[in-house]
Amino acid sequence: MADTNGVAGRPRIRHNDYSPLTPPPLGAWTPSLTVSVVVPAHGHQDRLDLTLASLAAQTYPAELMEVVVVDDGSAPPLRLPGIRPPGTRLVAAPAGGWGASHALNTGVAAASGDVVQRLDGDMVICREHIEALMRWHHLTDQVVTIGGKVFAEEPPLTPGQVHAAVAAGDLGSLFDMERAVPSSTEATIRRLDGLRASKNPYHVCTGPTVSFRRALFHRVGGFDPEVRRGQDTEFAYRLAMSGAVFVPDPEARAVHLGLPAQRVDGDTIVRVVTPYLAHRVPLRRDLRKEPGRRWLVPYVEVVLDATHATEPQVRQAVTAALTGTLPDVRVTLVAPWPGDSRHPVLGDPSLELRLIQEHFRHDPSVHLTTAPTSDPAPVPYRYTGPVDIPLARTTLQSMIKVVTETRAGLLTTTHPDGRTSRLERTDAVNRARALTSGSLDETIEETHGTTHHAATTFWPPKKQPQPSTPPQQHTPPPSSTPKPRRFRLPLRGR
């Protein structure tokens, strides 16, 4: 087990560098956690049979593993084949929804394992696949583990052939591995030292084999059934915002039956995925290029305490936040907002709050609340500062640039009057919150780093007006026109 500090079983992993975790060798440890393998499927009974045959040959103890196959409206309905793990169930996705997200939510709702393994119904996995990914979950509950895969043409196979080959550890006897197409994410994983050096490791967590704690699944809200394409990336982004650590394990090998869809029609796939991710993954700045747009999940939440502020102060602060060089902003105003009971109009003791409330109650970019949420996810950044010190035009953009370049989880500034403003990264705060009940800032320093700057770094000093000078008397310059020559007339009589 890894050495831990703070909460038991949760080591202080910095960014995504999971080096403090030392997994046991395959076959040389004793598992204890239960796992639910959730397999969403729509048709392709023949491929599902091969997937279940490979699951029946796993080295992970059968008594700790259940398999939940979710039939997502197949016609004819799916059935369970003869070769399958002993703890296999078939459930039907309920009416009123469809698609992988709907099916996965259905499967997890029926699952009972400590860990959920999401596996596509067109995968043949090696015998150590589940064991390889599960050994990381025994070290900490912070990890999301990712299996490796290649794409291969599907030869004619029977479930019996697959079961025998997987049990013998010989995937190569089933597929032409020399002609197999590697996943596009494998090169990225190698280049980034197994994702230890990755700034956004959720990018490669695209399924179809990934595992996570069931409690974590529920904490982030499960899969979004409205996301028809790119649902794995969108879900992984929310896992990242929760503070999760992403661990790929190359020993969890698998073969995906058939070539990847991106190679068939890559341009169309990108076009179909883009609108779903553009609204839900703010870190994909390349997808939010149109000026004047508003997005489902903003890039930054600006939190301002309006309790003791005046209406003009709040209006100025909100306007500054929403009209800066960073357009992707939502403002949260915090105050004990008055109710709508009978009250005097001009003599109302809550007059300022009522005016502020009425100014912004219908503005979709402004949220009124009595207390900010403890977790702003899936919004990636949260700014908090004095309401009477409006943001400069470039403040938020400059702050995020510093945080991005330094990879810090927290940026603080000190104003001339001693008050502070702060920009927090949501993933860093949630990681720290899971690790300690003490100082979040100290824990963020350990896991992501913090940085501090003078306020003048982000609030440029205002230009002072030039003092007026008395008008000077105008002295015409000497004329450059040559003086006319004077001629003397000759005197008569000389």
CATH number given to 300-457: 3.90.550.10
What H or E segment, with its residue span, contains residue 383?
strand 381-384
Q: How is 312-332 classified by DSSP, letter by letter?
A: HHHHHHHHHHHSSS---EEEE
CA dihedral (464, 399, 287, 183) positive or negative: positive
Q: For the chain, where do the domains classified as CATH 3.90.550.10 start and end? A: 35-281, 300-457
Q: What is the pTM of this model?
A: 0.89
DSSP E strands: which ranges in 176-288? 181-182, 209-213, 245-249, 254-257
Helices (H), 323-474: 351-360, 395-406, 426-435, 440-447
Token pair, residue 205, equals 């967590």
Looking at the DSSP bridge assignments, the partners of residue 68 are 38, 89
How many angstroms separate the first and last alpha carbons of the chain?
A: 132
Whether the CB-CB separation of 143 and 208 falls below 8 Å is answered with no
Distance CA 183, CA 150 (A): 5
- Amino acid letter, 165: A
Whether the CB-CB separation of 176 and 152 falls below 8 Å is answered with yes
Is the CATH code 3.40.50.300 the one for domain 35-281? no
Distance CA 75, CA 449 (A): 53
pLDDT at 488 (0 to 100):
46
Whether the CB-CB separation of 149 and 255 falls below 8 Å is answered with yes
Place of tokens 């990712």: 146
Task: Verify cis geometry, omega within 30 degrees of 0, for the bond prior to 378.
Answer: yes
The closest of 42, 66, 92, 426 to 214, measured between CA atoms, is 66
What H or E segment, with its residue span, contains residue 166?
helix 159-167
| Three-class SS state of 248 | strand
Mode of pairing for the β-strands spanning 181-182 and 410-414: unpaired
Number of Cβ atoms within 10 Å of the Cβ of 286: 8
Contacts from 154-157 at CB under 8 Å and sequence distance 24+?
Answer: 154/47, 154/257, 154/258, 157/50
Mode of pairing for the β-strands spanning 115-119 and 35-41: parallel
pLDDT in tens, the chain (494 residues): 333 344 456 899 999 999 999 999 999 999 999 999 999 999 999 999 999 999 999 999 999 999 999 999 999 999 999 999 999 999 999 998 999 999 999 999 999 999 999 999 999 999 999 999 999 999 999 999 999 999 999 999 999 999 999 999 999 999 998 899 998 899 999 999 999 999 999 999 987 899 999 999 999 999 999 998 899 999 999 999 999 999 999 999 999 998 776 555 667 878 889 999 999 999 999 999 898 899 999 999 999 999 999 999 999 999 999 999 998 999 999 999 998 877 777 778 889 999 999 999 999 999 999 999 999 999 999 999 999 999 999 999 999 999 999 999 999 999 999 999 999 999 999 999 999 989 999 999 999 999 999 999 999 887 766 666 665 655 555 555 555 444 443 444 43
Contacts from 289-293 at CB under 8 Å and sequence distance 24+?
Answer: 291/327, 292/327
Whether the CB-CB separation of 424 and 399 falls below 8 Å is answered with no
What H or E segment, with its residue span, contains residue 100?
helix 100-110
Looking at the DSSP bridge assignments, the partners of residue 211 are 117, 145
Distance CA 406, CA 270 (A): 31
